[in-house]
Structures are given as C-alpha cells and as structure tokens.
C-alpha cells in the first residue's frame, strides 16, 4: 500500500476515534442540547409496550401485586398534547382503554405526561426519556405501586 493511502486511512481512523470519544465524555446536557427534544420534533404517532408489576398501592398495602402488560399507540402533537389507545392485561384480565394527557418537556430530553385513562376513569403519570426525538422513547410509569419500564417507537411522521 502506498504511504499516502496509509496516511489517509490513519487520519480517517483518528477522526472517527476522536468523534466517538468526544460523545462518550460529553455531558448528557450538552448532547441533548445538540438534539432538540421539543414538541415539534417529538410529535408523531408511536407504538408502545409496557411490562410491569402493579401493587401494592402505598394507599392500599393489602392489595396483591399482579403482572401488568400493555401495548398500543399514542400520538403526540406539537402543542404538547397526547392521546391514544391500548390493550392491557391486569392480572390476566384483558381490556381496551383510551387515554389522553399533556406533555411537559423538561431538560435533557426528558418529558412528563399527566393524563387521564378514560376507560378506568383515573389519572396517570408517565416519564419519557427521549432517546432519539424522531424515532424512540423509553417510558416509565410514575404511578405508586407500579414497577416496570416501557418503550415507544415512532410509527409515522406527522403530516
């Protein structure tokens, strides 16, 4: 191999290594600032899943702990609203539900959702960690007694 080709390949490798290292050691807040997690960038339709255990609720310590699973879709818009529907299983009882809420975007690509499950007629609270504003989020329920993460992936871009 010619010396010039070797120098070009080594230079490309060095640039790639420095780029990877800079992202590794860059604080999360700086990385998040370079990728906007605004309502406009996050808006769209997502498919999601949750797997969790539910209970006991701290207000009802005698409640049994049961498995909970949910899969469905939700749409987030550029004004900070979200709505969706899902099929859920609570301790083996399967039901369909509809929900909506408002999304508050925090620092570092984190958002909180305060909403209402219209089927169960009860409020809910979630935290989103926006991994990639145009593709994926990690979800976590902030409900007392719930333990379990979820994941949402964009299904289609907003019109």
- Model confidence pLDDT, tens digit, residues 128-151: 999 887 789 998 888 777 778 899
Q: Which two three-digit tokens encode residue 155? A: 């299904």
d(Cα 28, Cα 114) in Å, to the nearest integer? 25
- Model confidence pLDDT, tens digit, residues 65-87: 888 899 999 999 999 999 999 99
Cβ atoms of 46 and 76 closer than 8 Å: yes
Residue 78's contacts (CB-CB under 8 Å, 6 or more residues apart) are 39, 40, 43, 158
pLDDT for res 12: 39
**Residue 36: strand, helix, or coil:** coil
Which residues in the chain come in under a pLDDT of 70? 1-35, 57, 157-159
Instruction: Enter the pTM of the model.
Output: 0.71
């Amino acid at each position: 191999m010619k010396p010039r080709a070797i120098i070009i390949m080594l230079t490309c490798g060095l640039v790639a290594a420095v780029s990877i290292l800079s992202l590794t050691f860059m604080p999360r807040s700086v990385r998040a600032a370079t990728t906007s997690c605004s309502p406009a960038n996050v808006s769209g339709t997502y498919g999601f899943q949750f797997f969790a255990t539910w209970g006991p609720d701290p207000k009802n310590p005698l409640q049994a702990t049961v498995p909970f699973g949910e899969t469905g879709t939700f749409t987030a818009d550029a004004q900070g609203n979200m709505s969706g529907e899902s099929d859920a299983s609570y301790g083996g009882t399967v039901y369909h539900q509809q929900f909506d809420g408002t999304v508050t975007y925090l620092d570092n690509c984190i958002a909180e959702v305060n909403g209402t499950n219209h089927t169960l007629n009860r409020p809910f609270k979630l935290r989103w960690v926006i991994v990639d504003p145009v593709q994926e989020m990690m979800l976590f329920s902030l409900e007392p007694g719930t333990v379990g993460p979820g994941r949402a992936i964009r299904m289609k871009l907003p019109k």
